[in-house]
Structure 1
């Protein structure tokens, strides 16, 4: 029973994060980047960087999932910040979105930038 409840809670949270991300994608990204590295390498690096408890403390979270239109999405709890990573020609395009313009969002963007 506990397993079922945990799965339902996870599905509900994913749905909330997904709708928040779709709303953010209707706007321009907070910042756009490009990289010569492969999309999967960039996505894994961002996920790893966002999970660094030394930098983000209790806010350290980074979830990686396949993007709806290819590529990958790395996001935090409640989609406070997320990045869409897609192969684009011979390079990788990264669109970073942040719900708030605060120090945590800036640290996440800086961690993302180290992966390019």
Structure 2
């Protein structure tokens, strides 16, 4: 029963996050970056960097899922900050989206930059 409740909660959160992401994707990304590293390597690095409790405290959740149009997406709770990663000719393109321009968002962007 407990597992069922956790699964249901995760499904509901994913649905909410998906609509927030779709709305953000209808606008220009906050920042576009490129890396010469493979997409999977960069995605795992970003997820790990965003899970650093020493930097982000109790809000250190980061989730990795397949991207909407291929590639990968790494996102935080409620999708306040997320990055879409896709392969391109030179390696990986990263489209970074954020709902707010605050200190935490800047820290997430700086942590992401360490993975490029």
> Normalising by structure 2, what TM-score?
0.97
Question: 1:51-96, CA deviations, whole angstroms, 9 ceiling, x for partnerless residues?
Answer: 0000000110110011121100000000010000000113210000
Distance 2:21 2:113 in 1: 20
Residue 60 (structure 1) aligns with: 60
Separation in 1, partners of 2:28, 2:74? 17
Q: Measure the CA separation in 1 of the matches of 2:13 and 2:30.
A: 23
Corresponding residue number in structure 2 for 1:77: 77
Q: What does residue 27 of structure 2 align with? A: 27
Give how far 1:105 is off: 0.2
User: How large is the Cα RMSD of the aligned pairs?
Assistant: 0.7
Deviation string, structure 1 residues 27-61 (Cα, Å, up to 9, x no partner) = 00110100100000100000000000000001101
4+ residue runs of structure 1 moved beyond 3 angstroms?
none
Give the CA deviation at 1:6: 1.5
Separation in 2, partners of 1:40, 1:8: 28
Stretches of structure 1 that go unaligned for 5 or more consecutive residues are none
Contiguous gaps of at least 5 residues in structure 2: none
CA distance in 1 between partners of 2:46 and 2:5 (Å): 30
